[in-house]
Structures are given as C-alpha cells and as structure tokens.
Structure 1
C-alpha cells in the first residue's frame, strides 16, 4: 500500500527480529499468555521474526513510556542482546510514548493499531480494500507526524497561495494528508453507492443473505468452503481473509441464498479500520442471518465472542438480527473437553458444534440455517397474471405452493412462505 508519505516508524523489513511486549494493565478478561501468542501471530502475519515475548504488570501507566523506567531498561537489554530491530507493543501508544520508547530501547516501536494496519495494508487485494486501508492508515499517521518525521522543524517559505508565509513542514504534511483523505472518502462513497445498487438488486431478486462473522482465524473461510465447494484462501493465519467473498448456495427448502465470507474481527480493532471498512461490512449489516463462527478450542473463546459482538454493534448490526453460533474446531479438543462442549451445546438454542476441517456437524449447521430462514412461514393467496411464468417459477423456488386455481386472466396460488419473501415478491 502506498500513501504517498514516508512511514518512518512503520517501515521495517520482512524478517526483522522482533520482541512482543504486553503491558498487562489488569482488568481484562483475557489470558495473558494467549494474548501474547495472538500478538506474536499478528507479527508473524507480516513476516516478522519474533525472537522474544514478555509481559509486564503495569499498575500505573506512565504518560511518557506507558511502562516503568526499570521495565524500559530491562527491555533495552533484551533488545541489545538479541539484536532486536522492532518492538511490538500489545497496547495503544500515544505518539509521545512511541517516540520515548524508541529512544529508550534503541529500536523501532509499533503498537497494536499500527501492526493491524500493516497487516491490512499487505493483505487487501481489491481496489476497495486498498482504499479503505489507506484511509485508515492516513487517519492513524496524521496524529503521529510529530513523532516520526525527521524534517518537521523546518520552515517553509510562503510562495503564492501555497502554504502561506512561514508554514511549517508538519502543517504542510498534515494538509496534504487531509486532502488525500478527502479524495479517498469521495472514491469510497462512489464504491458504497455501487455496492448499494448491487445489494438492492439482490434484495429484489430476492435471495436471503447469510453472513459468516467471527474472530480472526476462527475458521470462517474453511466453513465457507464447506458450504460452497469454493476454494477461498483458508490458512492457519490471522487475517487470511480481508476482502469479502460472496457465493450462491442452495439449502433445504431454499432454492438460492447468498453466503458472504467477511474479514475476521480482533480485540481492540482500530477505530480507523472499523470506520473505513463499513462499506465492506454492509453485507453483514443487511444480512438475514449471521453465523458467528467461534474457535471453541481457544482459551479466550468467550472473550473473542464479546469482541465480535462489540464490533457488530459498532458497525450497526441490529441486536434483533438472527444469529447462529457455530462452535468450530471440535477436532482440536481433548476427549474430555469435547464431551463437555457437546453437553453445553445440547443445553443451548441456536448453537451447533462443528469441525469445518473434518466436516463434522456441518450438515446439522446447514439444517439449522435452513430452519432459521424458513421458520415463521405464512400462507398467502397470490394472483399471478396469465403468462407470467417468471413469477410462478419464483413462487415455486422460494415458497411451498399448496394449490393453484384459474381465475379469468390470472392464476391464484396458495403459497406458504416467509413474510420477508412475500414482501420481496411484491417488490418484483
């Protein structure tokens, strides 16, 4: 991804030696070791070689460095001994903290937000995805110019209408960033309008939309491939999927439905990315049903669920949108843990235990999805003009035709279907 600006604090070579640092401030529902592993996985996702992982207990965050001076010294010794060139902090750092830590440690420092932005910058493949990531990155960088750029003390002489007399370089750079962000927002608005037209056409088609959501690396793409027979990239890698993928599928009682595979969520997802990716995530907002894929073998599975629900709320998904939880990765559980999970599932509604990798439980999940989309069906009397074969075919495809009678120039159908589908039929 190219923003047109130097990213001194963010640019580091693939293969750089890194240390992952967790400033544990307490109060979190997450396991510290699991959090360290996740952040190391995020670093590995951009080709960084993680040489060490360390957690510090932080009782009173320091405004200058977040962690204490003794902890900075301890880290500096490790950085020097292991020839570390990058410190990844699993926290949000202010520009001042980032600058002071770089000075104290003698290496580049990146926080959790910057790390996730780097991953998205590498992985976005579509033009829309690249626009979204660039916008998010510029928004993040705009507040950090004072820290990372080496030429900011220079003054720029006024010339004509450009900059004005004595405009500092930082002011000019910020103005350029603002202008670029304004252009990106205009381009994304155009993409959003186009996506909205496509979605409107699907609504009129009308086919129900099912969206797979979940924490990153929960197995959404593997499950998507199980449902569709597609070959979407599915790796044991954080953020393997960034750009949404849509496929048409058939389900019991439903001739056609749209299944959407979406970007995985993560704890402390940068607000810049949540805002930038709203256009992509509109498929989730407008979905008829959400399948929340959970890695039930992960020690922080409950915390990950809370993170996903938080992001869904932030992007505007209604609490009333139907959800099914797919407790994935049964194949990774010990026999004792597996028995406990299956017993828990048996006591819950709208939960299905699966292994997307082996296929176990996928048929039960498909049946649950079909039941969700067909429940609440009502009986309707629908007149169809003579010769309107397309309307008749639509009724057969999306409902259960109970009877048909001739009435002059029309055929009157008795059909059982969902109220939502009936409204869609009327919009044809």
Structure 2
C-alpha cells in the first residue's frame, strides 16, 4: 500500500510538473509572437496578413453556406431589434434641434430614417416597376433608374435572343470595339506617332503647341526633333556638341524652309536661337561643296554674308558661327568697325566662307577692293527691322549691287516649286541667291 501511495504521489508530481512546463512554454511562445509582431516590418506584416486572408478565403469557400446562415441570422436579429424598438420602446438619442437663426448645418440624422437598406428579405429584394420607357419615378435618382432599366431590358433581350441573333450581336460588338480601338489609335498625340504616321491634323496641333505661325504657300512641315530631321550626321554631331538638345520653335520651322533654298522672314523673341536657324541650312549647303573648289576659289569671296546693325551683335553672331563652323573647317571673318581695316583685309585675302559685317564697314571694304562677292549666294539680315529703322536700307541696297545677278531667282513659277528649289540647292555652285 505504501508503495502504491508513493507511486501515485510521484505520478501527480510528474503531471503537475508537466502542466507547469506546458504553461511556461505557452507563455514564452505568446511573448515571442508578441515581440515578433512588434519588431516585424510593416510590409512583411502586410504580406503575412494578406497570405493569411487568402488562406482564410480559400478555406472559407467550403463553409460558404454556413456563413450565409450566419448572415441571415444576423439580419433576422437586426429585424427583431428594430421591431422591439418600434413597438416596445427603447432609449432614443435626442436629436439636436436647430433654431431658425442658427446658420450651422446639422449633419446628424437618425439611422432609422435610412430607407435604402432593410433587413427584411421582402423589402431587400424589391420588384422594380418597368414603365416601358414612358417615364421615371419621382424622388429617385434618374441615372440609377436608367441603369436599372437598361440592365432589365438587356437581360430580357438576352433571354429572348436566338443563337443566330446572339452571334450577330457579338459580331456587331466586335466591330464596334475594333472601330473604337482604331479611333483611339488615330487620335494619339503626335509625340506618340512616327514621322510617316503624322497627319495634317497632327501637324496643325504641333504648330499650335509650339506657337508656330506661317504665311506662304507649300510650306514644308516643321522639324519634330533633331533625330527626325534630314540633316547630315556631321551637322547633327556639331549641334549635339554645341548643347542644342531640342530645336526651338523658330529653328523647327526655319531650317526646313532654308533647306529648300527658299527665302524666309523669321520673327522670334531674343534668345530663341535665330542665329542657328539660319546658320544650319548655310552650313549644310557649304559642306556639300567639294573642299578643293572652296580652297581654289577663295579669291572670289565668301559664300555668305551676315549683316548686323551693331558691332556687338556682329561679334555675338561671330562667336556662334565659329562654334558651329570650326569643327566643319568653315572659316569666318568679322568685318566691323573699331578694328584695323588692314588686318581684316589680310584675313579676307587668306580666304573665308562666311563674312559677318556691319553695313558701313562692309561697303568700305568692298569699295577699297579688299573683298569681292563673286560667289556669294547667301544673304542674312539679322535684326532687319532695326537695321531699316537705323537708316541702313541704302547701304544694304548698295551691298546687294556688288553681288552677281547671275544667281538671282527667276521671276517665274519655278521659284515657287519646292522640288525645283531643292534640286537647285543640291546643285552646288549654281545655287540661286537665298535670303
């Protein structure tokens, strides 16, 4: 008996010890879980909760019927609670009364006033009155009624349609979707289209976007970007080195016109890149000429003269021209006042392709035979309006008289034909005069 008693006591002690160890283990696990949740990264926590929710949803599909029963029981209990409140009474929250002189709007309203949701299945699934398109029920949102009507008639038509009619309807919807997709494709913004996909409407929007206004006939389309332009690679390389990432509005429209050997009057604000707009077509043409001809005929004068009203502006144009022309081997000379005429004459005799000058000093140089304009085919008047206002018009006329008459554009329809002008531009030394 003593042995049995001792064994029983020993068994109880072991069980008690195991129970205490189990409790300690559970507490330790709870503490560790709590610490892990507190230290857990918010994104990791969100990921874990999403995973648990997905597992619950996966497992929950099996007991959907049970959930439906619980939902019905809840609705029933809410309905009973509403009936009790209505007939047995209950604690009602007093609504705040609004005085007539109180301007503050009261946003509080009683939940019992909400007639849109009901717990009774009879009122939950109401029968919709169909008025056969004759009108609508007053006091209810028209858009909602239209949606419900269209849904009702759509379901009704779907039930009554034969297989043939269904196929026809599917074909019609496919055609409609295809048409809408084509319309969306055609209505894309010009920046999302390739150059050959651009329509007249796209070019019109493009000009409006960059505030480009043009007057004249058969005007070429503007440049969208340097990459889309027809400029030679060596010119594009120089433009990139000079830091011109995107063409300005005046450059977008003036360069294509200049490349067609057509005259242009460009109006743009200061600092908008007008110098590059007339320089780039000039450089394109000069670089197409054989270099040996340029060197041998250097005594016949420059290919282009750029006139500026003031010395400071001429120096600015010279800096810009050197920046573009030097990498291409094109020489530039500035003929301006304040510098020795003999030095300028020496540089002119050495040969150059472009002369930048003020009208007074250029006439002086021409009259003293330091310079001739036998092969000059490119005339640029920078700040032309200012030059005329300052009274330089007779000087400009005198300079033009020193140029050969053989390269003047013919006074015929040929001068208006872009294709013939372009062919003349590419003809080399026999190019018409351009301004």
Under TM normalisation by the shorter chain, which class is it?
under 0.3
**Structure with more of its chain in helix, by fraction:** 2
The normalised TM-score by structure 2 is 0.22
Q: Which has the larger radius of gyration?
A: 2
**Structure with more of its chain in strand, by fraction:** 1
The normalised TM-score by structure 1 is 0.22
